[in-house]
A and B are shown apart, each in its own frame.
Chain A
Amino acid sequence: MSDTVIHIDNLENRFGTTVVHQGLNLSVMRGEILGVVGGSGTGKSVLLRSIVGLKPIDDGDIHVFGQRLAALDRRQRAAVERRFGVLFQQGALYSSLNLLENVALPLVEHTPLSRPEAEQIARMKLALVGLPAGAAEQMPAALSGGMIKRAALARALALDPDVLFLDEPTAGLDPISAARFDQLLLTLRDALGFSVFLVTHDLDTLYSVCDRVAVLARKQVLVADTLENVAATQDDWIQDYFHGPRGRAAYASMKENR
């Protein structure tokens, strides 16, 4: 369980003259759920986009499954990216396709499966993330926020990825839906054994699902460790974050649940 899936070494990211990351180091282990937190504008999403290859990095190295991303040619890179599943903040479901087609698309494009076979699997994935059977034929525009997140998760899981990237999966969900989503994530991770790179602001999610937490601040990862150790770190921002009123409430409810 302890081998590294993603290893980030001395990463630097800039937008013009604004430096977002400098000397950033972080590892994601196999099968773990890593929560990434940080204030607004600390580059959590930029980090996610760098790893999945949406933003070219300015310096440093990212190793994925032991391969250096920058050294891969287009074909190898596509093969690596196929082992990623990404859930975007707004779901980013293709609005011209219904849910079934949304999930079946990567299957049809990347595997030798025929369309009926792909749709058969897609139906199973939609049910796997807890969507009712009737939802498969619906268009994304007709869905609620919670359902969109679930459908997007089903699409991210279409190719049975080794790493799942989630960008604020519970943002904009009501607490009940958010708690259900957390539970779903845990269940799926236990069953399917993928690693999760979870960008979130949701303290409840952080407390209930994450194995480790990485704190982004001052262009670097300040600390990446178990929640208890992170919360005990002597840093003003971390203390404010975990021991402010919201942090205390989430912590208390976690204690109750365990």
Chain B
Amino acid sequence: MDDLSNTSGSSPGSVPSSAPLARIETNQQLTLSGTWTLAYFHAIKKQLSTHDAKHIERLSLEPVTQLDTAAAQLMIEWFGSERMQQQANHLPDQRRQLILSVIEALEVVAEAPETPARTGFQRLGDSLARLGQQVTALFTQQLYLLGFLGVVLAAFGRTFWRPGRWRLTATVAHIHQTGLNAVPIVVLLTFMVGAVVAFLGATVLTTFGATIYTVNLVVFSFLREFGVLLAAIMLAGRTASAFTAQLGAMKSNEEIDALRTQGLDPIELLVLPRVIALWVSLPLLAFIGTLSGMLGGAVVGAVSLDIPFAQFWQIVQRDISVRHLWVGLSKAPLFALVIAIIGCAEGFKVSGSAQSVGERTTSSVVQSIFMVILLDALAALYFMQMGW
């Protein structure tokens, strides 16, 4: 408070500030003096509350050095707007206008209908309604995603037979961003997880004297599951969010509407290149991730488990059929489609505000990671039943 009052007093031309004061002058006249501004809000409130407005006939505002709207509001609420209006008539032009404007504004405020407080029963109803809304929202969300998938597939079908309408440049640019630029992080991540799996395997298997099977554990898990799963989760976090933010910003900037009015299909121009780019990138990344994870396991084997590289490689060639690689990689295009569709669909759902972009981006990452893991679990069941 002191800070505020000091600075507003130190400027040239303005009157030095002093604490607001309300003093009974004669019987029914209250004289106000000092600085009546926002900085002294509480002091003003206190000063006014020491006097009973009912016993005051006249307010003398002349000695007040500064008056702002906040103080005027307090004054009017204390003294009553009609009586204040009469008092204002005696004042110089600018101050009268200030008080009259505030009176006018307060009249508008007073017109606002009071919202009745909710009873306990109504609040229970509200929370039930919210729950219901969330459930239906979940359902419509899935419906929307399916619809979006359909629209994208239709656009794909339309353009597939016409190479002239393939957006090669955009697609390659997206492959660069989502695929090539993601290689270092995917390699690092899978390498470390590979090393961790090898350590885990060694710890458990030593008790059975079967340390050598660490090789099978690492290679199996990476070929079938971890290679593709880790790459997909990485892309869900890295790319789905980027797609949502890009398309969301375009949506709120009305760029997508602009495309539509020019007779261009935003799905074909914006979504298809992204979907195809991810469709190409994810299998490649999954393959690289698989290799890197196996390498991580091999390094741990060579360094601390006495399994040299050559032996590791020999076991891989002897024990593990290439079928497992195909099983693992076959999931990649599906995951890519799900991640790209969710990322783009959420981007299209952005509406206006910056908050909306944030909400949709979060939602797109959570949804795509959830869907990837769910589909992976279903695929694991399926492959097991098929005995692949």
Contact = CB atoms under 8 A, between A and B. Distances in A.
A141 B352 CA distance: 7
A191 B11 contact: no
A188 B354 contact: no
B202 to A, nearest CB: 51
A159 B41 contact: no
A134 B112 contact: yes
A191 B8 CA distance: 19
A7 to B, nearest CB: 11
A53 to B, nearest CB: 15
A211 to B, nearest CB: 15
A116 to B, nearest CB: 12
B102 A124 contact: yes
A121 B71 CA distance: 10
Interface residues of A, number: 43
Given A95-B355, A190-B97, A3 B13 contact: yes
Given A83-B8, A140-B353, A160 B37 contact: yes
Contact of B39 (A111, A124, A132): A111
A110 interface: yes
B334 interface: no
Contacts of B353: 95-96, 139-141
Interface stretch (B103-111, B160-168, B214-222, B340-348): B103-111
B73 A124 contact: yes
B41 A117 contact: yes
A125 interface: yes
A117 B74 CA distance: 10
Given A112-B42, A159-B38, A191 B98 contact: yes
B193 to A, nearest CB: 38
A113 B97 contact: no
Interface in B20-54: 37-39, 41-42
Interface in B304-357: 351-356
Highest count of chain B CB atoms <10 Å: which of A107, A127, A136: A127
Nearest to B73: A124
B105 A65 contact: no
Contacts of A123: 109, 112
Given A65-B11, A191-B97, A133 B111 contact: yes
A188 B101 contact: yes
A126 B104 CA distance: 12
Select the residue from B7, B94, B351, B354 with max chain A CB neighbours within 10 A.
B7
Interface in A122-173: 123-128, 132-134, 136, 139-141, 157, 159-160, 162
Interface in B194-212: none
A227 B354 CA distance: 40
Contact of A124 (B3, B14, B69, B98): B69
A133 B112 contact: yes
A79 B98 CA distance: 24
Nearest to A129: B105
B117 to A, nearest CB: 15
Nearest to B99: A191
B12 interface: yes
A64 to B, nearest CB: 9
Contacts of A41: none
A128 B41 contact: no
B94 A160 contact: no
A140 B354 CA distance: 11
A141 B41 CA distance: 32
B68 interface: yes
B39 A141 contact: no
A160 B351 contact: no
Contacts of A110: 4
A113 B13 CA distance: 27
Nearest to B12: A66
Contacts of A190: 94, 97
B386 interface: no
A133 B69 contact: no
Nearest to A112: B1
B1 A125 contact: no
A192 interface: yes
Contact of A112 (B8, B41, B106): B41
Contacts of B371: none
A140 B7 CA distance: 32
Interface string A62-92: 0001100000000110011011000000000
A160 B68 contact: yes
A3 B41 contact: no
Contact of B70 (A30, A121, A187): A121
Contacts of A83: 7-8, 11
Contacts of A82: 4, 7
B222 to A, nearest CB: 43
A138 B110 CA distance: 17
Given A79-B3, A121-B73, A111 B101 contact: no
A129 B44 CA distance: 24
Nearest to A2: B13
A120 interface: yes
Interface centre among B14, B39, B109 (most CB of A within 10 A): B109
A79 B107 CA distance: 32
B280 to A, nearest CB: 37
Contacts of B13: 3, 30
18 contacts: A75-B3, A79-B3, A95-B353, A107-B38, A110-B4, A111-B4, A111-B41, A124-B69, A125-B69, A127-B104, A127-B106, A133-B109, A133-B111, A160-B68, A162-B11, A188-B101, A191-B97, A193-B94
Which 10 A-B pairs give the minimum distances between C-beta atoms?
A: A133-B112, A95-B353, A127-B105, A79-B7, A127-B108, A65-B11, A160-B68, A191-B97, A128-B105, A3-B13
Given A112-B41, A140-B353, 4 more contacts: A75-B3, A79-B6, A121-B70, A124-B73
